[in-house]
Amino acid sequence: MTPRPSRPIGVASRLCALAIACYPRDPDRARDLRELCDDELEDARRRRGARGVIGSALRMSANLVASAAIARVRDTNRGRHAPSQRTHMVDSIGHELRQAVRSLRRVPGFTATAIVVLGLALGVNVAVFSVANALLWRPLTSVAPDRVVRLYLTVSGAPTPRLSWLDYDDYRQHHEAFADLAAVNLAQVVVDDGVRVDQGLAETVTGNYFRTLGIRTSIGRLLDDRDEHADVVVLSHRVWAERFNADPGAIGRTIRVAGRPMTIAGVAPPSFTGTFVAAPIALWMPLRDEVLPRGWRTDRERSVFQVIGRLAPGLSRVQAAARLDVIARGLEHANGPMANGVGAAIVPGTLLHGPQRRPVETIFALVVALASLVLLIASVNLANLTVSRATARRRDVAVRLALGAGRLRIVRQMFIEGLAVAIPAAVLGCLIAVWILPALVAIRAIPTLRFAIDLSPDVRVVGFVLMTTAVAAAIVGGLPAVPLMRAASQGVLKDTATALISGAPRNRLQTALVVAQLAASIVLLITASLIGRSFLRALDADLGFDPSRTVAVDLQVPATRYDAQSGARLLDRVVAAAHQLPGVVAVSLATRAPVDISTRAVEILVPGYESHQDRAFRTATYYAIGDEYFDLIRLPLVGGRAFTPADRDGSALVAIVNETFAHRFWPGQNPIGRAFVVSPDRSKPEERVTVVGVARDSKYVSVGEDPQPHVYLAARQHYSAGTALLVRTSAEDRRLPDSVQRLLRSIDPDLQGFFPRTLEQHVAVSLLPRRILAGLAGSLAALASLLALVGLYAVTASVVAQRTRELALRLALGAAPADLRRLILVYALRLCAWGTAIGLAASFAGTRVLSAFLFRLSPTDPVSFVAVPISLAATALAACYVPARRAMNLDPTIALREG
């Protein structure tokens, strides 16, 4: 039996296969090439391990793509030209490539710099694009991905990604729209394999889930329709490798999941990580009451499922949407008034979907724009350096034009020279991307939660690499061609002396390019400064409460064994027991730890505002909290009282509101004693609550939010099986999370605290996007500025070298060395000033776009707009000091003699 190839070889082999696909269709050739590649990869693996495999794969792919291009030209010309001409054309391109490589070999320093600089810029772009691709565009499955879609409900036109079981059941009967329709829910579970007990995430799915996605098993078997009532699970490849050492003997073993014994039926393929973006899924299991909310099968308001479907054969998305409309209307009739205004919609089957998509798209649009700017700067930088080198080419080009060589031919040659740098730079860039990507996605929001993102390259990433390489080649090769062509066509075979005084065209181009780079750097630096300052402001933002010395865990009361009464008693016991832990000063339940992105909103009806047009007057965020909540997080009450044990199930319903709420609905009046209607749970009737207290404003969803109305309800009066437990101690206690877990297990062995974290870490989660963005923007800006300054240095040094005779003349005629130094520095500063002016103008115009990302900071923040240009000018002066000194220290006699 042939051993299964290791993962690096698998990926590398796929990369080579992609490159082979660039050849014109020829199964024999494809097979032969594939064989060659596989042999080489196996050899590389034996000799150099995984690194060698990747290096080999990239090298071979580049070679294959270039050869494929030549093969295409040859195959196309085979019909039109006689054999001798065919070989001539092919040989010509090959010849030009070889010439370009030879000419680059002659200047190893420049070539190495060029490849490194461009490689860095390309690497950053590839990394950013890979992450964007993995999050935004990667489909749920690679098997006919365009046929897989997500089903949304639309309620009064507003789309919602979550359906109840009854809704799902309604639609799955209808085969005219879908060949298959599967439901999936994300659950936190406890997994006990007899040796270790761990928390993890699981997808609970209908039997047809894997079939709908077209996933084929790696080991054992996957879930299918007969498993809807069976106790079997499918492990993720990661868990199988980590916990069972990738032992095929794990199939058939029994583990306990959410307290229930389940048999391991199989292992999913390594590339499949579920349908919830970035969630590290441990296993897939059938729908079980243990992990689903009470009443999920019968309550139409329990919208806990995401629904994924494969379109019926031959049906386009538009046709399917039309059929869905018909189905929805039919259901309206069948299900009565509750289904009024409820329709259905189809959304492309990507990992990231729904309301989560927009913010991620916006962030990535910004990051990709910044990264592209860096690439532009790097390419222009290189083009500039090439222009300096190209002086000798002018004569050569002029002669060739005079002898009748087509302009197109010369342009093609310059493009090929650009390719000769861009292709190795692209290879280096891919290696850099492969190196930094794991670090990027290893960022952990909280210690126990890591992201699972599939970053393997697919067609889109390869296409992006090819496109950026071509663009870089065009700039690096094409830009220097401009002055060459113009000068050459003017019949230039001029003396260098004339060029010196008149300021040759190539100098103007170089100057313009440097100014452009500096301007782009200014834009990047100002952007990074704004984002960075905004992040620091958000870090310091007044939360309104004190998150220190507090631990939060998420509790899940097992729904199969506890109803509302017994569950509430259980939670009381937990709170009482937590108080007994050493050092604990306060304990409270809360439906969410404060500042949580999943904080729910609730419909409110305040007398006098019931029919207010603005939705902001009919909803508020809410938590259901325990008595000690405000003491625990040190959030002061500015009026009335906190909840007490008297506020329990059966007694008058009470609420505490925040200042914004009180001010919005009862401005200038005392809110204590006022009543309003609230409906926290759509499956229960609305409730009339009375305000007993007013709390200071705080943050509820994210640190950067504006003040918004918020309601606190009494946890005793609003039981929830899923709630957070907050425990505050008098001093920092690292062992507190473990103590809490032991305590929970001692009360009920199946009770676990999920995602234990400090409240500070919890609050930091909402700052994570800002933190990442600030880091990325800062790094890109630093890289870009470095490139621009190197460019400025190079141009200044080049100017000094070119003007040596003139400077020496000045010295000989009595100028002071300090004058020369000032001349050069002023030249550099002038370039800087132009770059700054253009950059500032562009920033003024452009940073408005950033307002969405900024926290309490104006997009035209004066500090950024002043500090950045000054710093850049200072650094530019430092960078140009060396050429300036060289000018100063010229020996006139030597310089004039050498002239």
Partner 1 sequence: MAARRRPEDLLPLKPLHFLLLLSLVDGYRHPYGLKKDVEARGDRTTPIGPGTLYRAMEQLVDADLIQESGRRPAPDRDDERRHYFRLTPFGRAVVAAEATRLAGLVKIARSKRLVEGPV
Q: Report the interface residues with partner 1, using CB under 8 A.
A: 16, 29, 32-33, 35-37, 39-40, 56, 59-60, 62-68, 70-71
CA dist., res. 876 & res. 62, Å (int)? 38
Task: State the minimum distance, in angstroms, from the CB of residue 16 to partner 1.
Answer: 8
**1 versus 392: smaller Cβ distance to partner 1:** 1
Task: State the minimum distance, in angstroms, from the CB of residue 74 to partner 1.
Answer: 9
Name residue 713's beta-bridge partners: 624, 655
**56 versus 206: smaller Cβ distance to partner 1:** 56
Task: State the minimum distance, in angstroms, from the CB of residue 39 to partner 1.
Answer: 4
CA dist., res. 516 & res. 508, Å (int)? 12
Q: Where are the alpha helices (DSSP H) in 541-556?
A: none
Task: State the minimum distance, in angstroms, from the CB of residue 71 to partner 1.
Answer: 7
One-letter amino acid of 407: R
CA dist., res. 527 & res. 778, Å (int)? 9
Name residue 205's beta-bridge partners: 184, 286
**111 versus 271: smaller Cβ distance to partner 1:** 111
Task: State the minimum distance, in angstroms, from the CB of residue 33 to partner 1.
Answer: 5
Strand 753-758 and strand 722-729: pairing? unpaired
**17 versus 809: smaller Cβ distance to partner 1:** 17
What does the radius of gyration of the chain's CA atoms come to, in whole angstroms? Answer: 34
Task: State the minimum distance, in angstroms, from the CB of residue 59 to partner 1.
Answer: 7
| Largest distance between two CA atoms of the chain | 104
**64 versus 488: smaller Cβ distance to partner 1:** 64
Task: State the minimum distance, in angstroms, from the CB of residue 465 to partner 1.
Answer: 17
Task: State the minimum distance, in angstroms, from the CB of residue 893 to partner 1.
Answer: 43
**33 versus 792: smaller Cβ distance to partner 1:** 33
Q: Are 147 and 311 in contact (CB under 8 A)?
A: yes
- Cα dihedral: 360, 365, 368, 372 (round 10): 180
Instruction: Let me know if 66 is exposed, middle or buried by CB neighbors in 10 A (0-12, 13-18, 19+).
Output: middle
CA dist., res. 652 & res. 129, Å (int)? 56
**39 versus 247: smaller Cβ distance to partner 1:** 39
**16 versus 642: smaller Cβ distance to partner 1:** 16
Instruction: Let me know if 340 is exposed, middle or buried by CB neighbors in 10 A (0-12, 13-18, 19+).
Output: exposed
**16 versus 285: smaller Cβ distance to partner 1:** 16
One-letter amino acid of 187: A
CA dist., res. 390 & res. 509, Å (int)? 13
Q: CA of 803: how far to CAs of 498, 560, 796, 810, in Å?
A: 12, 86, 10, 11
Q: Are 509 and 151 in contact (CB under 8 A)?
A: no
For 700-722, the DSSP string reads SS-TTPPP--EEEEEGGGS--SE
CA dist., res. 328 & res. 339, Å (int)? 9
Task: State the minimum distance, in angstroms, from the CB of residue 54 to partner 1.
Answer: 14
Task: State the minimum distance, in angstroms, from the CB of residue 98 to partner 1.
Answer: 11
Calculate ∠ Cα 385-387-388, nearest 5°: 65
Q: Are 653 and 717 in contact (CB under 8 A)?
A: yes
Task: State the minimum distance, in angstroms, from the CB of residue 34 to partner 1.
Answer: 9
CA dist., res. 399 & res. 405, Å (int)? 9
**51 versus 688: smaller Cβ distance to partner 1:** 51
**90 versus 541: smaller Cβ distance to partner 1:** 90
Task: State the minimum distance, in angstroms, from the CB of residue 29 to partner 1.
Answer: 7
Task: Supply the angle between the helices 862-879 and 505-540 in degrees, to the nearest 10.
Answer: 130
Strand 158-160 and strand 219-220: pairing? unpaired
Task: Return the structure tokens found at 734.
Answer: 């690292």
**29 versus 569: smaller Cβ distance to partner 1:** 29
Task: State the minimum distance, in angstroms, from the CB of residue 415 to partner 1.
Answer: 20
Task: State the minimum distance, in angstroms, from the CB of residue 19 to partner 1.
Answer: 8
Q: Are 774 and 493 in contact (CB under 8 A)?
A: no
Task: State the minimum distance, in angstroms, from the CB of residue 36 to partner 1.
Answer: 4
Task: Return the structure tokens found at 140.
Answer: 């749920």
Instruction: Let me know if 35 is exposed, middle or buried by CB neighbors in 10 A (0-12, 13-18, 19+).
Output: exposed
Which strand (E) or helix (H) includes residue 769? helix 768-802
Q: Are 345 and 159 in contact (CB under 8 A)?
A: yes
Would you give the distance in Å from CA 532 to the centre of its chain? 18
**1 versus 501: smaller Cβ distance to partner 1:** 1
Task: State the minimum distance, in angstroms, from the CB of residue 12 to partner 1.
Answer: 13
For 841-892, the DSSP string reads HHHHHHGGGGGGG-SS--TT-HHHHHHHHHHHHHHHHHHTHHHHHHHHT--H
Task: State the minimum distance, in angstroms, from the CB of residue 47 to partner 1.
Answer: 12
3-state DSSP assignment of residue 614? coil
CA dist., res. 417 & res. 99, Å (int)? 9
**82 versus 195: smaller Cβ distance to partner 1:** 82
Closest CA to 212 of 316, 350, 310: 310
3-state secondary structure 194-206: CCCEEEEEEEEEC
Task: State the minimum distance, in angstroms, from the CB of residue 118 to partner 1.
Answer: 20
**22 versus 786: smaller Cβ distance to partner 1:** 22
For 469-489, the DSSP string reads HHHHHHHHHHHHHHHHHHHHH
